[in-house]
Amino acid sequence: MVTSDMVRLGLIDGDGIGPEVVRAAREVADEALGAAGAPAAEWVRLPMGQGAIDEFNDPLPLVTLHALAELDGWILGPHDNASYAPEFRTFAPPGGAIRKRFGLFANIRPARAFPGVRAVAPETDLVIVRENTEGFYADRNMFAGSGEFRPTPDVAMSVGVITREACTRIAHEACALASARRRHLTIVHKANVLPMTMGLFRDVCYEVAAGYPDLRVDDEHVDAAAAHLVRAPGDYDVVVTENLFGDILSDLAAELGASLGTAASLNCSRTQAMAQAVHGAAPVLAGHNRANPAALQLSTAMLLRWLGSHRKEPTFTHAGERIERAVAAVFEAGIATADLGGLASTSEFTEQVRARVHRW
């Protein structure tokens, strides 16, 4: 782990547009750390994806996993495991494998509209807190083996796992976040048809929330929540839900606010955190300097804020805030990449963000 006067952070390029957006995130982070008077980051570059297959015959080699264990945090670029050779597609997707190995149990996914960016619902400003370790995700809900299997050639089955321990810790994350925002927590579940598993999730979240008396707490079935999000996203502040529901609802919420090109996320435990944009590798854009770097830059801002909180170092928090404000200011100035209807390249957008981190 890092010492008090420096921070070592991992850089994992991944596939497709990964190298371009990871570089853009690092450049903005360095600029913001300097502007905030924070200790400089020592960046540790690590292989993953097709490049790791070429070098190590493994999309997520042990050299990367061993190095990550010594870091407080890292930036993860997107992976394109669907394009790997058939023998490597049976591996767990690298992002999921990292989450499982390091117990990154919370996936924090904000969704907000930005002035200057066309939004389906301009009032969108919410955070989805997704339990990240179990549910119906077969790549991470078992100690060994997979939670998905085929007992016969014509039957496929999936096991959903919900535990009191996992529900308790994600509920605390969500309650703490809601306490720092507008003090409204919504528990999303499907207990009407899955009363034992989803009922446990709902009930434990309510039990934990009782320890946060300043919160207004309610719950909704996931199908009703999806409809409600489309109709009135401004009704939501913090949503806590299980793995699969959180994955789906966060993509929906991102599109209401802007697009996946602005959808940030942080995967974290109590000791480590990983910045990872919600979007994929977009191989058709790779190498053309056209990718939108905003989502990973905003994810990196979340990582710096997390570091500031966990290391009790306010300059890291200030650096993260500078990035968030700078990205918003660039959008408000009418500067955006092509996916948002703009003309800026990846590097041009990044230069505009770098210039604006010095304004606060």
Which sequence positions are flagged as catalytic? 137, 190, 223, 247, 251
Residue in the structure block whose two tokens are 């605390």: 172
- DSSP strand E in 208-298: where? 216-221, 238-241, 266-268, 273-276
Alpha helices in 258-343 (DSSP H): 294-310, 314-332
How far, in Å, CA of 266 to CA of 128, rounded? 11
User: Residue 329 and residue 355: Cα distance in Å, rounded?
Assistant: 11
Q: For residues 160 and 93, give the distance between their C-alpha atoms in angstroms, rounded to a whole number.
A: 19
Pairing of β 155-158 and β 216-221:
unpaired
DSSP state letters, 31-99: HHHHHTTPPPEEEEEE--THHHHHHHSSSS-HHHHHHHTT-SEEEE----GGGS-HHHHTSPPHHHHHH
